Structure 1
Amino acid sequence: MAEAAYTFTLPSVADDTTLECRVYHPPDIDTVLSRNDRGIGGAVFAHPYAPLGGSYDDPVVLSVTETLLEQGYIIGTFNFRGASGSQGSTTWTGRAETEDYVSVTGFMIYYLHHLNMSRRNDTLATIPSAGGRVLDQDSEVPFQALSEEPIRLLLGGYSYGSLVLARLPSPQTITAHFQEAAIGTAAAEIILRARMLAKQTLQAAQELQSPARSRGRALNHDDAAASPTQRAKASPVMVGGEETDPSERRQSRDSRRSADIVRKSVEMPHRIKARIRRHSDKTKPNPTPEKENPHTIGGDGLAPRVRSCYLLVSPVLLPFTNILCPPGPPTPTLGSNRRVGETSAGSMFLQRPTLALFGTSDIFTSSRRLRAWAEKQAHGSNDASFTWEQIDKAGHFWREEGVMQALQARISSWVNNLSP
């Protein structure tokens, strides 16, 4: 099994609960970063129910991760609250777990965003810190303007992980939330962690290439041992703590009222200035554009574009419903009791390429019921984007002889047939 390139923590946008996370790089990460034919592909894959032993070390999670790595994807896995070393406890509603998934998805979007911006790079640009300050010259990393290609993002889940995935907002909604991240919040911390790790990956790739360029030769086989992936395998990077100074950190679990008071008090001087500026601009032929609010970290001004797809392994159908779109409370939140008013991923399964895989011997949901659900989704999907397969003799835990190989083969085939 591949070693994680980074093992780190993130605060959940729900309430700052600390979550254990990993990022895996494909063996040819250096080639992936220099590729010009398509955007960088990434994935997030969620584990089964924590009280039953589910974690990112689950054999199915690791197997799917290995399969996607072989297809050139950068993979993010994580432990829901209450799983393994993540803080907190599993909730009854699953609402907090949905926001845990949102947190890791936001991280992966911005990690891929910064890696994507480095492709076809000819210039250097700086990464701002949490306070809007520019890091010193030694912290500069190669970036270019936003790449034309959208980020290819696969969102997946196994068992309980698929249940949470069905309640996830669309990537566009998640990105919009992070674009508005106020400094000191969990969302801002996540963006900063993504930037920091992307910077580290890019610097490692640049260090690998620079000696070869200075010698005027191409890389040879011996240089491969110094690649970021090889280094990661030898010594996975452990990252923890916070990117923002504690004095600037504001807990996301503040009440909505308190958050609104802080936001309004922060924004009031800027609103007054903006009103004065607009009045003054009426007499000026060339008004000066208003500067970005220094109290938000945003995402470099332009929101990353995401092209998503979904992977469900052994989806769980709740007893009181015949569909998975969505189970439980229909409207998840995004921190500070903020509600999402956009389509959930449950219906996104019908709009974006989706693959559902389950066995004929699933002990949690009968094969007849799973087939009926899958046929209904396929019938209602746009342009037959929802596909499914029932693998003979496979149980919920994929331990039967030969079924894990069948699972991996089906995922590989589906990924290879996705539009670039």
Structure 2
Amino acid sequence: MAAEPAYTFTLPSIADDTTLECRIYHPHGHVENLLRRNSTLKGAVVAHPYAPLGGCYDDPVVMAVTETLLGRGYIVATFNFRGAGGSDGKTSWTGRGEIDDYVSVVGFVTHYLQQLRHFFEDDSSDVLSPIVSADERNGNVPASVRRKPLSLLLGGYSYGSLILARIPSVQTIQQRFEPAATGTAVSEIVLRAHTLAQQTQQAVRDAEELKYASPEELSPTDATSLSPTKRTIGSPVTLGGEETITSDRRRSRDSRRSVDIIRKSVEIPRRMKAHMRHSSGSGKQRHRQRSSDEVAAHQISEKVGMASMPEVEVQYLIISPVILPFSTALCPPGPPVPQPFGRKTAADAHAGAVFLKHPALAIFGTKDGFTPVRRLRAWAEKQSSQAANFEWEPIEGAGHFWHEDGVMRALQERVGKWVATLP
């Protein structure tokens, strides 16, 4: 039976507040088994192929990889890029919006995993304001009690792999999510992660109560209505709308409008700017404005528990990459434009620079209709020569869409084998 999501919900993209459809899948079995203090909490994000060609989070390859990861104990997030499925917006030519779409989901998953860990490490603590001691921040904690890093696998298939190759490092993404001013897309994403983590926590609590309840205390429907496993399979939770009240929701376009105003101020005649600089009243007003903004940002940061981001171990899964013509670099999003005389751009030179720093697996078919297998092999050999942690494997007879007999199973088996070797 196909996996059913635990939660179906929406997130705003940090690019421009475009609404994105998202899903979270919980692994097979009870979620509480993964939330023990000594276990490594594992999450994954899997991105779909090109939307104008029908790509969305229901893609068979995306679902097959999701099933494989669930079987290995991962909490998996899938999402629709802008213009795909029920997400708003349109597919971009440059892929810049899609990069921020992916970054938005990574930020969500990181906070969801972090909050789950806080919930279940100490259920009696203030779960919305986890405090990390100075000793823990400085690493002066015995290894036996130190928190294990979160494990995050970032995956992409076809067009999804092109976007994946161009997202910044997870550490950079975490920094981007630290200033969560009220009403911004970042704040909205973090609050939604906390809301869903709270729902998961409550479901696990209810299931624990059932374990120790006497038969007389149970109603006939308790076993199916309270179990997080049964709820996930039988009735996924759908959550739309926004976490922040409308009056406080500050759109990204408002921020862009502010930037435009600042940019236009450069055109103000010098004598007017000099007058503004020497106006003590204006200076005080600007100082008060900055202070109020800083207080608001600090308050929302405390509210959503962003005092310290967790250590994250990252892995990359690249399925059916599309290679740039006349080079061995991943093709950038948008229409391919071959460079004259094979000249490489700066983007080509840095493509893959992030995922080469972490364990990575590239897998593709020998009958890929978009890129000849000889060029896929050349690309993979180049990556593996630059990074010892980069693995690759061609699947005999598989095309770009993995429709051929037996190839989907081969894909799942290879991904499962690789995942089993990860820490």
Q: Taking structure 2 as the reference length, what is the TM-score of the superposition? A: 0.80
The aligned residue for residue 77 of structure 2 is 76
1:50 equivalent to 2:69? Answer no
The aligned residue for residue 132 of structure 1 is none
* 5+ long unaligned stretches in structure 1: 129-142, 217-221, 274-289, 330-342
**How many angstroms does 1:267 deviate by?**
8.6
The aligned residue for residue 278 of structure 2 is none
**How many angstroms does 1:175 deviate by?**
0.8
SS in 1 for 2:409: helix
The aligned residue for residue 40 of structure 2 is 39
1:250 equivalent to 2:255? Answer no
The aligned residue for residue 140 of structure 1 is none
**How many angstroms does 1:212 deviate by?**
3.2
The aligned residue for residue 385 of structure 2 is 379
**How many angstroms does 1:84 deviate by?**
1.0
Identity of aligned residues (%): 54
Residues 43, 109 of structure 2: 8 Å contact kept: yes
Aligned length: 370
Residues 114, 310 of structure 2: 8 Å contact kept: yes
> CA 1:161–1:70 in 2, change beyond 3 Å: closer, same or farther?
same
The aligned residue for residue 237 of structure 1 is 237
The aligned residue for residue 276 of structure 1 is none
Residues 26, 75 of structure 2: 8 Å contact kept: yes
> CA 1:7–1:351 in 2, change beyond 3 Å: closer, same or farther?
same
Structure 2: which amino acid aligns with 1:19? L
The CA RMSD measured in Å over matched residues stands at 3.1
The aligned residue for residue 269 of structure 1 is 288
**How many angstroms does 1:33 deviate by?**
3.6
1:417 equivalent to 2:418? Answer no
Structure 1: which amino acid aligns with 2:52? P
> CA 1:73–1:260 in 2, change beyond 3 Å: closer, same or farther?
farther
Counting only pairs closer than 5 Å after superposition, residues 136-175 of structure 1 correspond to structure 2 as: 148-175=147-174
Structure 2: which amino acid aligns with 1:207? D
Counting only pairs closer than 5 Å after superposition, residues 347-358 of structure 1 correspond to structure 2 as: 347-358=353-364
1:209 equivalent to 2:208? Answer yes
Inter-partner Cα distance in structure 2 for 1:223 and 1:310: 40
Inter-partner Cα distance in structure 2 for 1:377 and 1:358: 14
* 5+ long unaligned stretches in structure 2: 134-145, 216-220, 263-282, 335-348
**Pick aligned residue for 2:299 from 289, 294, 297:** 294
Inter-partner Cα distance in structure 2 for 1:50 and 1:328: 12
> CA 1:265–1:150 in 2, change beyond 3 Å: closer, same or farther?
farther
> CA 1:259–1:248 in 2, change beyond 3 Å: closer, same or farther?
farther
Structure 2: which amino acid aligns with 1:249? R
Inter-partner Cα distance in structure 2 for 1:59 and 1:389: 20
**How many angstroms does 1:304 deviate by?**
2.2
**How many angstroms does 1:253 deviate by?**
2.4
Residues 204, 228 of structure 1: 8 Å contact kept: yes
Per-residue CA shift, 1:202-246, capped at 9, x if unaligned? 011011113434669xxxxx9874421211211111100010011
Q: Taking structure 1 as the reference length, what is the TM-score of the superposition? A: 0.81
Structure showing the higher helix proportion among its residues: 2
Inter-partner Cα distance in structure 2 for 1:266 and 1:190: 31
Inter-partner Cα distance in structure 1 for 2:307 and 2:44: 24
Inter-partner Cα distance in structure 2 for 1:67 and 1:319: 32
Structure 2: which amino acid aligns with 1:194? A
Which protein has the larger Cα radius of gyration, Structure 1 or Structure 2? Answer: 2
> CA 1:271–1:18 in 2, change beyond 3 Å: closer, same or farther?
closer
Residues 128, 305 of structure 2: 8 Å contact kept: no
Structure 1: which amino acid aligns with 2:360? T
**How many angstroms does 1:30 deviate by?**
2.8
Inter-partner Cα distance in structure 1 for 2:195 and 2:368: 42
Residues 170, 345 of structure 1: 8 Å contact kept: no
Residues 191, 304 of structure 2: 8 Å contact kept: no
**How many angstroms does 1:252 deviate by?**
1.0
> CA 1:265–1:323 in 2, change beyond 3 Å: closer, same or farther?
farther
SS in 2 for 1:154: strand
Residues 45, 76 of structure 2: 8 Å contact kept: yes
SS in 1 for 2:38: coil
